[in-house]
């Protein structure tokens, strides 16, 4: 009897004590978690997933938004109008892209591969967070030309989006933060690490002779600004392009206000470079051979030109050929054909009027 | 011996329960929280600002304000011991054209306060952490999309002395990095210590004289300067001026 009483008392004690333990309700993130896989040998990503963990639903929403014409003023300019999957998410064969009301964009649309490792966006690095990035093209009068509240209103009135926001974020609330986080989730999945170069590095494939020779030349003459594995140092350089008299683009100086940054632009990654032409910040160079000619001969050396380029880059025609062979080996065909990045099958119909805007 | 054991069986659990309760109390020490309403009134000199009325700045230049917005963030209260207690997560956008935005409630943990403090602007952390919500939502038109960062304070006006198209005056003041950081900490002492009562709401009335934008540390004449839309030396000058625009006119507890 006493024993039973004691056991009961102990049990009661345990129950009462447990009730004092701080019960912090763990906020359950809605959606099906998707883990981010860092390719073997690559550094940790820079994007903070703690505040925006990937989910199947978030990525699906981001993908739909990426192909959503209504993010633009007249419905014709979704993100995907300038960032096409088959061009490694750059704009195929466009030096400058097309924006609202027959306007040109002011810079060449970059590839969107491996954004998880980037901390600054745009050719001038003016944007400091991936989530903030889409607000620039959406609001730029010569790009998507829309204002953010109108975009959100259009999404709120749609029959599908409120449900997709609920699936991704737990409620039907549609706001700027959720929209841009969903876009980031989709963009973060765009990892390109399966080119012939990657396979050769992993021992799954091997370079042919020109590629092998090109790789050696590349390491000697290009890799200081285009280091592996991203083939960019994420820094800003003046690589000897004269200022375009119409665009008058001073590059990094526009952000820092520092004359030392005049005509400096962020080093682009060379991954998929074969399919992301035309090249340079304003797309003025149309082929890889012309790019190499630029560094070999055509550069304009000015006061802010990178010290490594003061004497241009000595290159023989033979070396140029080998280099191009190597650069082609940076093409990640699996990435460029990845169905996960293509227009979602249930996407709203797009209303493209000019042949320049085919998506597939 | 047996009785001793029994007693222990009773005493130890009771002790454990009390200890737990004590630990609980320590983690959740109850504070009284006092409600304070901060109420902002925008003035030009000593006259209340009316959108679309003509005023003169300290240089006698006529101007008509069409838009005035500024961020008030990181509110804190001080007492006479020099103790300063921050009110967590306080970000407000004061918009002249939205009267509701000029009054907002905050909680003080101090029972007696002698000063109210806040940032005029948005701290750098919120400038580098992606897209925020509510007052900090980029759709409020106080966010630069091409060069990430908040516009901390914005005045748009028209003046016959402006040499800009449509005689516009556009002062968008921002910058959160290094020497171009325009975020100002404002500390406003109250004329007398304000004793707060739990459950009541105290009010602190704050005036903002926008004529301070033009003069003070630096002369900003509309005839010379009609446009500022970048972080940098000019924004720093205007911010150095407007940091002096606030004053507490009255504070009372009901």
Cα dihedral value A342, A346, A349, A350, nearest 10: -20
What is the reported pLDDT for A16? 60
Alpha carbons A157 and B53: distance in angstroms, whole number: 38
Alpha carbon distance A215, A209 (integer Å): 10
Q: What is the ipTM of this complex?
A: 0.86
Residues written for chain B: 254
> How distant is the alpha carbon of residue B169 from its chain centre?
24
Average pLDDT in chain B: 92
Start-to-end Cα distance in chain A: 81
- The dihedral through the CA atoms of B70, B74, B75, B81 has a sign that is negative
Residue A185 distance to chain B (closest CA, Å): 13
Which tokens go with A110?
Answer: 């970059």
Please report the pLDDT score of residue A228 as a whole number: 98
Question: Which one of B17, B23, B148 has the shortest CB-CB distance to A132?
Answer: B148
Question: Each residue of B47-87: pLDDT tens digit?
Answer: 999 998 999 999 999 999 999 999 999 999 999 999 999 99
Could you list the mean pLDDT of each consecutive 10-residue stretch along chain A, which spans 360 residues? 69 64 64 96 97 97 98 97 96 96 96 98 98 98 97 97 97 98 98 98 98 98 98 98 96 96 98 98 97 97 96 97 98 97 78 43
CB A20 within 8 A of CB B24: yes
Low-confidence stretches of chain B (pLDDT beneath 50): 1, 27-29
At A4, list the tokens.
């039973």
Tell me A79's DSSP state: G
Could you give phi then psi for residue A113, rounded to 5 degrees? -75, 145
Q: Residue A7 contacts by C-beta under 8 Å, 6 or more apart in sequence? A: none
Two tokens at A230? 């991203």
Which helix (H) or strand (E) covers residue A60, if one does? helix A56-66
Task: Work out the minimum CA distance from B54 to partner chain A, whole angstroms.
Answer: 30
> Which residue bears the tokens 């959503």?
A68
> What sign does the dihedral B220-B222-B223-B228 (CA atoms) show?
positive
B197-231 pLDDT, tens digit per residue, is: 888 899 999 999 999 999 999 999 999 999 999 99
Alpha helices in chain B (DSSP H): 2-27, 124-127, 233-242
Give dist(CA B126, CA B119) in Å, integer: 13
**Residues of A at the B interface (Cβ-Cβ below 8 Å)?**
2, 6, 9-10, 12-13, 16-17, 20-22, 51-52, 122, 126-132, 135-136, 138-140, 147-149, 152, 175-177, 180-181, 254-255, 257
Is-contact B202 B34, C-beta < 8 A?
A: yes
pLDDT of amino acid B124: 97
Q: Which residues sit opposite B47 in a β-bridge? A: B44
């Amino acid at each position: 009897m006493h024993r039973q009483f004691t056991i009961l008392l102990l049990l009661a004690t345990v129950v009462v004590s447990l009730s004092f333990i701080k019960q912090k309700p763990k906020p359950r993130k809605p959606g099906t978690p998707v883990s981010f896989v860092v390719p073997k040998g690559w550094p940790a990503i820079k994007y903070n997933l703690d505040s925006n963990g990937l989910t199947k639903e978030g990525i699906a929403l981001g993908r739909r938004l990426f192909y959503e014409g209504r993010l633009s003023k007249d419905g014709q300019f979704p993100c995907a109008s300038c960032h096409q999957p088959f061009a490694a998410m750059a704009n195929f064969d466009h030096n400058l892209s097309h924006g609202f009301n027959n306007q040109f964009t002011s810079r060449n649309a970059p590839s969107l591969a491996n954004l998880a490792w980037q901390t600054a966006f745009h050719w001038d690095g003016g944007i400091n967070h991936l989530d903030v990035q889409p607000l620039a093209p959406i609001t730029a009068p010569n790009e998507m030309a829309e204002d953010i509240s109108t975009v959100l209103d259009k999404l709120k009135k749609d029959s599908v989006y409120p449900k997709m926001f609920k699936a991704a974020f737990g409620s039907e609330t549609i706001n700027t933060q959720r929209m841009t986080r969903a876009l980031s989730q989709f963009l973060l999945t765009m990892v390109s690490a399966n080119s012939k170069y990657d396979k050769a590095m992993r021992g799954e494939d091997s370079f042919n002779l020109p590629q092998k020779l090109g790789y050696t030349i590349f390491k000697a003459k290009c890799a200081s600004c285009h280091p592996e594995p991203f083939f960019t140092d994420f820094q800003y350089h003046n690589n000897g392009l004269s200022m375009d008299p119409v665009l008058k683009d001073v590059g990094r100086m526009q952000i820092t206000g520092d004359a030392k940054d005049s005509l400096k632009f962020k080093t682009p990654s060379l991954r998929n470079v074969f399919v992301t032409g035309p090249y340079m910040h304003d797309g003025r160079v149309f082929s890889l051979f012309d790019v190499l000619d630029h560094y070999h001969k055509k550069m304009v050396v000015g006061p802010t030109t990178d010290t490594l380029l003061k004497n241009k880059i000595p290159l023989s025609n033979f070396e140029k050929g080998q280099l191009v062979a190597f650069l082609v080996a940076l093409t990640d065909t699996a990435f460029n054909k990845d169905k996960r990045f293509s227009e979602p099958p249930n996407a709203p119909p797009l209303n493209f009027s000019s042949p320049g805007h085919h998506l597939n | 011996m047996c009785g001793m054991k029994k007693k222990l069986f009773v005493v130890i659990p009771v002790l454990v329960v009390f200890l737990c309760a004590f630990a609980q109390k320590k983690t959740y020490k109850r504070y009284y929280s006092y409600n304070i309403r901060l109420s902002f009134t925008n003035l030009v000199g000593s006259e209340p600002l009316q959108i679309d009325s003509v005023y003169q700045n300290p240089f006698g230049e006529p101007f008509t304000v069409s838009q005035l917005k500024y961020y008030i963030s990181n509110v804190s209260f001080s007492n006479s011991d020099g103790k300063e207690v921050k009110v967590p997560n306080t970000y407000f956008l004061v918009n002249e054209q939205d009267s509701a935005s000029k009054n907002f409630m905050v909680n003080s943990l101090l029972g007696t306060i002698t000063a109210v403090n806040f940032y005029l602007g948005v701290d750098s952390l919120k400038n580098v952490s992606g897209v925020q919500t509510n007052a900090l939502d980029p759709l409020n038109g106080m966010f630069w999309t091409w060069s990430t960062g908040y516009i901390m304070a914005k005045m748009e006006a028209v003046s016959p002395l402006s040499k800009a198209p449509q005689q516009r005056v556009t002062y968008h003041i921002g910058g959160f990095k290094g020497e171009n950081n325009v975020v100002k900490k404002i500390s406003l002492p109250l004329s007398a210590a304000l004793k707060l009562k739990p459950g009541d709401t105290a009010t602190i009335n704050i005036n903002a004289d926008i004529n301070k934008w033009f003069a003070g540390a630096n002369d900003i004449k509309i005839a010379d300067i009609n446009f500022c839309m970048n972080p940098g030396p000019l924004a720093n000058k205007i911010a150095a001026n407007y940091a002096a625009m606030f004053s507490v006119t009255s504070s009372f507890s009901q």
